[in-house]
Amino acid sequence: MRRIGLVSDIHGNLPAFRSVLDALREANVDTLICCGDVIGVGSSPGVCTELARSHVDHGVKGNHESALLRGSDDPALASASAELSEADLRYYEGLPEIATLQEFAVVHASFRAPMMEYILDRETAQASFALFDQWIGFHGHTHIPSVFMLSGCEVRSLDLTSGLTVRLHRSMRYLINPGSVGMPRNGSCGASYALLDLESETLTFDEVSHEGDLTLSGASLRQARGGRR
């Protein structure tokens, strides 16, 4: 595990997911971590699930997978349920809410509320830092790339742009959100992801263009006007 690809919030957007997987393959990633919400909203939950099952090395449930398994009557999730195989459903049933590795912890939303809380400020970041011990915690759910850093008792955040590379320090701890593959909320139309290089201890945020999933265009517009999923 030397070059780690980080993805989250794919939301059934197949063109976006394929574009990100191609970019990570070209970057010689040897491990892929997914922070949940592979399904929901987009028109290709089945194929996106197949890709996740075959490519993701460490993953967690997102709030959409959790709702699906509870039998949600959300139309997008009802459609996904009809498309997913028994093996797909077992895959999601087997995913934890929080995954812990030697140096990393993975969650969908926050370590305080794994399915629902948005880490958007220093206060919510501080609460999550107190609940895991690893060097880095990976999360998603906000659909916005972010980095929060803990040094001593002080939490700081970084202003991020696509293509930005951040040098990490072992004296600090981090909460890292790679943004959304399928439904970005940072004003971009590209599919967001991040690459962690453990040899150089650098983190790079990037995005790739793709043909898009028309199912998501209306949903993204509604969310830009104030709704969240």
pLDDT averaged per 10 residues in sequence order, the chain, 229 residues: 95 95 97 97 92 98 96 88 94 98 97 98 98 98 96 92 86 97 84 97 93 54 42
Output the pLDDT for position 216. 56
Output the pLDDT for position 197. 98
- All domains in the chain, ordered by first residue: 3-224 (3.60.21.10)
Output the pLDDT for position 78. 87
Structure tokens at 102: 């030697």
Q: How many CB atoms lie within 10 A of CB 155?
A: 20
Q: Could you tell me which residues come within 8 angstroms of residue 10 by beta carbon, excluding any fewer than 6 positions away? A: 16, 17, 34, 37, 38, 39, 42, 48, 52, 180, 181, 182
Q: Could you tell me which residues come within 8 angstroms of residue 143 by beta carbon, excluding any fewer than 6 positions away? A: 9, 179, 180, 183, 184, 185, 186
Predicted confidence (pLDDT) per residue in 150-172, tens digit:
999 999 999 877 678 999 999 99
Q: State the first-to-last Cα distance of the chain, in angstroms, to the nearest integer.
A: 32
How far apart are alpha carbons 211 and 147 in whole angstroms? 28
Half-sphere exposure of 209 (CA within 13 A, CB side): 0
Output the pLDDT for position 43. 84
Check: CB of residue 89 under 8 Å from CB of residue 69: yes
How far apart are alpha carbons 158 and 147 in whole angstroms? 6
Long-range contact pairs involving 22-25 (C-beta distance under 8 Å, separation at least 24)? 22/208, 23/193, 23/206, 23/208, 24/193, 24/195
Q: Could you tell me which residues come within 8 angstroms of residue 132 by beta carbon, excluding any fewer than 6 positions away? A: 98, 100, 105, 111
How far apart are alpha carbons 57 and 31 in whole angstroms? 6
Check: CB of residue 206 under 8 Å from CB of residue 162: yes
